[in-house]
Structure 1
Amino acid sequence: MELLKALIRAIVMLLLLPMYVIYTGLAMLSNKDDAVKACTQFLSLLPGKTGSYFRACFCSVIFEQTDNVVYIGFGTVFSQQNTTIQTGVYIGPQGNIGSCLIGKNTLLGSGVHLLSGKNQHSFDDPDTPIKDQHGEFSKITIGENCWVGNGAIIMASIGDNCIVGAGSVVTNDFPDNSIIAGNPAKLIRRK
């Protein structure tokens, strides 16, 4: 069985070779984040488990320390190259994943957005358009064995064994074993 899995992975990697060449070319012409966006948007359109497997294999090559034993749902795109996805992760459809580390066996529901920190945009200078004011990206962490409900927006780190209610907006860090919900998210209780 392991030999068959290795053979299938090798075939998929060969099929992905043109996409990797495109990624490398785009990264040289602009930057790696733009290349990640373009390629993952294209691959996000492949349906079913086959599409998820193609996305997982591609991400395991372009992201550091990313496992290919993950599920990446239809329509999910990535916006930052500085992303780590550990083994057993499930990312539901229509997600938007920024700079983050997603811990082992974590489940992200449909439409979950993991932003690259909470300071991505600056609006300190009223005389400069917001689009011209640069913020800063930071890598957030979603701990191991977490469950994040549909439509949650997370822009801060959460610990291991956490539950985030559907539609929550997480703007502050939360420790291990937290159950959080709301907008902005608040601690409901500790497990």
Structure 2
Amino acid sequence: MKGIGKLGLIAICRLLVLPTWIAYRLEALFVDPDKAFHGASQAMSLWPGLLGEYARREFYRLTLEACSDDCCLSFGTILSKRGARIGRRVYVGTRCTLGLVTLEDDVLLASNVDVLSGGAQHRFDDLDTPVREQGGTFTRVTVGADTWIGNHAVVLADVGRRCVIGSGAVVTKPVPDESIAVGMPARPVGRRGERTPGKVGE
């Protein structure tokens, strides 16, 4: 019975998100598709509770380049790029911001984590041109499988598999597999299996 109830909830959520999906598709005919998607994502981020988690997943399964059927994207989380890829059993905490990302299987993001589209989204070298008019480059940032990223971290570069990124860290350079990295900018301070669990902040 539990499985039947879950399937029923999924079906209901798929129907509930169809108006938002249709509105997004129509808007994308007239404006930049990523801009239209971003607006729809803002709306979906405000659905509370378990219903919201299921509804967001169904919406992103309809719109993202890849989205698993067992991920969880929590309240307040906003995505800005349709090219994002969300792997299996991924958990994204509340109020996260995701750009052109790949979150591989079993990635855990705590609350208020920003995984952006690289570190060159805004050029600022020309002093005679406003920053907003100088353009930038959006690059895919990959977070490897079984990686945990703590609260308020900012990720601008790839993070390897089986890593731990401490709370408040700012990742500006690629982090090797199985690293524990902390600080601003983030730097490796150990490897998984070599430190006592729960001592990331030391």
Q: TM-score, normalised by structure 2?
A: 0.91
Q: Deviation per CA, 1:55-80, whole angstroms, max 9, x where unpaired?
A: 11101110022113111111111111
Q: How many aligned residue pairs are there? A: 191
Q: Is the 8 A contact 1:85 1:103 kept in 2?
A: yes
Other-structure match for 1:30: 31
> For residues 8 and 19 of structure 2, what CA distance do their matches in structure 1 show?
19
- Identical positions, percent: 37
Q: Secondary structure at the match of 1:187?
A: strand
| RMSD over equivalenced CA pairs, Å | 1.1
Q: Deviation per CA, 1:70-120, whole angstroms, max 9, x where unpaired?
A: 111111111111100011111110111100000111110000000100110
Other-structure match for 1:131: 132
Task: Tell me if 1:86 matches 2:87.
Answer: yes
Q: Is the 8 A contact 2:150 2:167 kept in 1?
A: yes
Other-structure match for 2:71: 70
Other-structure match for 1:171: 172
Other-structure match for 1:112: 113
CA drift at 1:4:
4.0
Other-structure match for 1:45: 46
Runs of 4+ in 1 over 6 A off after TM superposition: none
2:61 corresponds to which letter in structure 1? S
Other-structure match for 1:158: 159
CA drift at 1:43:
1.0
> For residues 155 and 141 of structure 1, what CA distance do their matches in structure 2 show?
10
2:59 corresponds to which letter in structure 1? F
1:79 corresponds to which letter in structure 2? S
Q: Is the 8 A contact 1:97 1:113 kept in 2?
A: yes
Q: Is the 8 A contact 1:88 1:105 kept in 2?
A: yes
Q: Is the 8 A contact 2:101 2:117 kept in 1?
A: yes
1:89 corresponds to which letter in structure 2? V
CA drift at 1:35:
1.5
Can you give the 5+ residue segments of structure 2 that lack an aligned partner in the other structure?
Answer: 193-202
Can you give the 5+ residue segments of structure 1 that lack an aligned partner in the other structure?
Answer: none
Q: Secondary structure at the match of 1:28?
A: coil
Other-structure match for 1:14: 15
> For residues 94 and 4 of structure 2, what CA distance do their matches in structure 1 show?
30
Q: Is the 8 A contact 1:59 1:68 kept in 2?
A: no
CA drift at 1:2:
4.4
Task: Tell me if 1:144 matches 2:150.
Answer: no
CA drift at 1:5:
3.2
Other-structure match for 2:97: 96
Q: TM-score, normalised by structure 1?
A: 0.96
